[in-house]
Structure 1
Amino acid sequence: MEKKIKNIFVQGAIAPAFVAESIQKHSTKTDIGAHSIFMGQVRSDVVNEQKVVAIEYTTYEEMALKKMHAIREDIFSKYALTCMHIHHSLGRVAAGDICLFVFTSSGHRKAAIAACEEVVERIKQELPVWGREIFDNETHQWKENK
């Protein structure tokens, strides 16, 4: 039986309370010995003397979710994970707010840390998500993934 494709996208910023709740939910899973968490935050960069106040994220959801499913399956086959949770913002996210939350869990730390790092890198390189930087004067430009 094929696994269901999970929707990783949320509208707007990822709330700190959501992150805390996600961590708390794992306290009953006593076979887990390690968690690794990555949180991407929108930076208030200065580009061409203009300050970034937000990033507006867009995607082609169907394509992105299929790609993310393939990445998930690959990571689960490579690392001894108990679970993996990924949440990525769509829409406008203000500077200082969380736009990406990756949470991996395993029996031991090395698998959780390595898997989390690889998932983040693959999201940045492979997922068709685009960010448009919004400047303090409301002009904008497409952001380059780094």
Structure 2
Amino acid sequence: MSEKKIKNIFVEGAISPQFIAESIAKHSSKTEIGGHGIFLGQVRKDKIDENTVAAIEYTAFEDLALEKMHLIREDIFEKYPLTCMHIYQSLGTVKAGEICLFVFTSSAHRKPAIAACEEVVERLKAELPIWGKEIFEDGSHQWKENK
């Protein structure tokens, strides 16, 4: 593993619109950036077997997830000419309609930023030990299948 510090991607609870806006605004001074790739994951109010999802409770094997995310981050920086990459994943309970994942990549040009953002999201979903328990309006719950 490289000498770079492992970044913590986890935040407690929902990711607020204000936090997202401030993160984007901080990049206006970085005038070498010409494009951003942004993905926002939002909890859906799905109906499953007559039950409606009210929230998802996210848990993770944090140490392993952070190590794997560090390796993914290094792979992405090697593959794409990015200026920066930011990843925030909720832990704890996030209500339907709230943001649970924020991935933000920046590059001199739009195509690498967009491609890198998409790859980060796909790899995060496939490779990180993060789980979601769907909490239904009636109080029952079940583990969510990652799609």
**Normalising TM by the smaller chain, what interval?**
over 0.9
* CA–CA distance in structure 2, aligned partners of residues 65 and 14 of structure 1: 18
* CA–CA distance in structure 2, aligned partners of residues 14 and 137 of structure 1: 25
> In the alignment, residue 119 of structure 2 is paired with which amino acid?
E
The answer on 1:72 being equivalent to 2:78 is no
Alignment of 1:21-60 (within 5 A): 21-60=22-61
Q: Which stretches in structure 2 are left out of the alignment for 5+ residues?
A: none
> Quick one: percent identity of the two aligned structures?
72
The answer on 1:121 being equivalent to 2:129 is no
The answer on 1:107 being equivalent to 2:108 is yes
The answer on 1:96 being equivalent to 2:77 is no
**How many matched pairs?**
146
Cα deviations across residues 35-86 of structure 1 (Å, max 9, x unaligned)?
A: 1100000000001100000000000110000000000000000000000000
What is the CA-CA distance between 1:21 and the residue it aligns to? 0.0
What's the TM-score, normalizing by structure 1? 0.99
Aligned twin of 2:4: 3
What's the TM-score, normalizing by structure 2? 0.98
Cα deviations across residues 91-146 of structure 1 (Å, max 9, x unaligned)?
A: 00000000000000000011000000000000110010000000001100000000
* CA–CA distance in structure 2, aligned partners of residues 101 and 93 of structure 1: 13
Q: Which stretches in structure 1 are left out of the alignment for 5+ residues?
A: none
* CA–CA distance in structure 2, aligned partners of residues 59 and 114 of structure 1: 26
